[in-house]
Structure 1
């Protein structure tokens, strides 16, 4: 009879000891409450709790990688886009993470979604595509400031994808093509301008000495002869043609 009485008592003692002994890993901390009131943060290692009187909540201190779902937003230039991101954060104050907010992971996730929409909605589509580093830092600083009261440190925020519909993709492609055509025309015009400036400079240099133009004529004839052409055009200076015309005109007047 005595043995039957002591067996349940022994089981109760073993159960109490099992519930009193806790082991926390290196990356874990235990927020201990005593009679419902916060007592202290303990760990890592072996933790002994007073059964019934003390309760403990485990908190993981490792960096958490949280994927922010795609958010539909309208940019400042009225373009509908879908944006998703990833947030890296960790708990630095277990007491605040347990006492000041209910389910800190869900709270941080909801805050990240609203912050992503509000920040990106203030920028144009071109800024979202070209200035991601700046936008990442802006979102991170806002999240870090608002989650500080929850004992959370936001280490990094990365915008992963900026998706737009096919109609806008075609419009952007047309815009890019028009921009390339504009640049090509500008480059061609600049080339024509530089070529004209060089031609004017060459004409000025050739005009300083009449022998220079004669040498240029001979060089042109050499180039034409080298092409094995059946027709050779020999250019004459305009002044020579005019002098010859005046001379012929004068001789004709004398015959009359």
Structure 2
């Protein structure tokens, strides 16, 4: 690249020796002063006039004075990704980690970015590394792994606080990789395995518990349904029995009413028939007691057969004593005579009274 006359004059004044890198090395990649220049979009050109800051060229047409104006700095206003190299950091629980990341920055003030710091990109990179080590030292390993987003936010805030004077803003910082020592990684793997085994056992026990609850609930519902069915059956049976009893009571009442009506229509004849029926049933019942049992309850007037029959007839309640005795005599005449039991303690006496045979009529 050919040098201008002004540059040759500067070189002659400097004499032999190395050239200042910050001035001439940058000028080799900078646009030359061709009087008329076109500034690209999202780019800021810093113009120095006679070595002093003059102005910032905006995108578009720019007119420069030859030999006096010089384009000293070219700053891109686009977002730039800066790779942060891997570095060591010690956590709060004394675990050494290897971390690297990516930093996204953008120039918001071309003047400060040119004259506020020698190399803005290098300064931002070093600031990001020191800030990351500081933030990692405040957290344990578990928090570093779980709170990566919060860690990125804290690093971004710390970088922005220091980079304001450089005309550069940090948009975001992302931790890319975290490398822990091998023993720590193995311990973490064992911990994860144990935790998963624990959760599997808990889920298995929960499944068994739920299964037992479902089975018990099913048995409960089955028992409830069975008891309700039994209850309904008993209610239906009781209702049927009640209805049957009611029907029998109605039938009995109807029969009694018919008997009462018959008695009312033919009082004397009906009373005689009823008295005869009551007396016959009383004698038959007493005869059965004498046959079936060895020890029986004997009425006090067992010797008075007529009196017994009269007593039975008096149960009817509507028969007088005279009529009862008359009916008793009539029964005796029919042939059913009860002999009194012999006195004393013999076995025959213990058997109670016995019926005498009916006398046969002479032929």
- Class of the TM-score when normalised by the shorter of the 2 chains: 0.5 to 0.7
Match of 1:26 among 14, 26, 41: 41
SS of 1:160's partner is strand
Q: Whose strand proportion is higher, 1 or 2?
A: 1
Aligned CA-pair RMSD: 2.9
Give the Å deviation of 1:202: 3.2
Give the Å deviation of 1:35: 4.3
Residue 174 (structure 1) aligned with residue 196 (structure 2): no
Q: Distance in 1 between matches of 2:210 and 2:34?
A: 88
- Unaligned 5+ runs, structure 2: 10-31, 230-363
**What are the superposed Cα offsets for residues 149-174 of structure 1, whole Å, 9 maximum, x if unpaired?**
21112222211111112211111110
Match of 1:51 among 41, 46, 67: 67
| Alignment check: 8 A CA contact 2:33 2:71 kept | no
TM value normalised by structure 2:
0.49
**What are the superposed Cα offsets for residues 202-234 of structure 1, whole Å, 9 maximum, x if unpaired?**
33334443799xxxxxxxxxxxxxxxxxxxxxx
| Alignment check: 8 A CA contact 1:32 1:55 kept | yes
Aligned length: 200
Give the Å deviation of 1:143: 1.6
Q: Which residue of 1 aligns with 2:122?
A: 106
Q: Which residue of 2 aligns with 1:223?
A: none
Q: Which residue of 2 aligns with 1:135?
A: 151
Rg: which structure is higher?
A: 2
- Unaligned 5+ runs, structure 1: 1-10, 213-256
Residue 163 (structure 1) aligned with residue 179 (structure 2): yes
Q: Distance in 2 between matches of 1:79 and 1:184?
A: 30
Give the Å deviation of 1:19: 4.2
- 1:142-153 alignment to 2 at 5 Å? 142-153=158-169
Tell me whether 154-163 or 19-28 shows the greater mean CA deviation.
19-28
Q: Distance in 1 between matches of 2:217 and 2:5?
A: 108
Q: Using CA pairs under 8 Å that are at least 6 residues apart, name the structure with larger relative contact order, 1 or 2.
A: 1
Tell me whether 135-144 or 68-77 shows the greater mean CA deviation.
135-144
Q: Distance in 2 between matches of 1:112 and 1:211?
A: 78
TM value normalised by structure 1:
0.67
Give the Å deviation of 1:20: 5.7
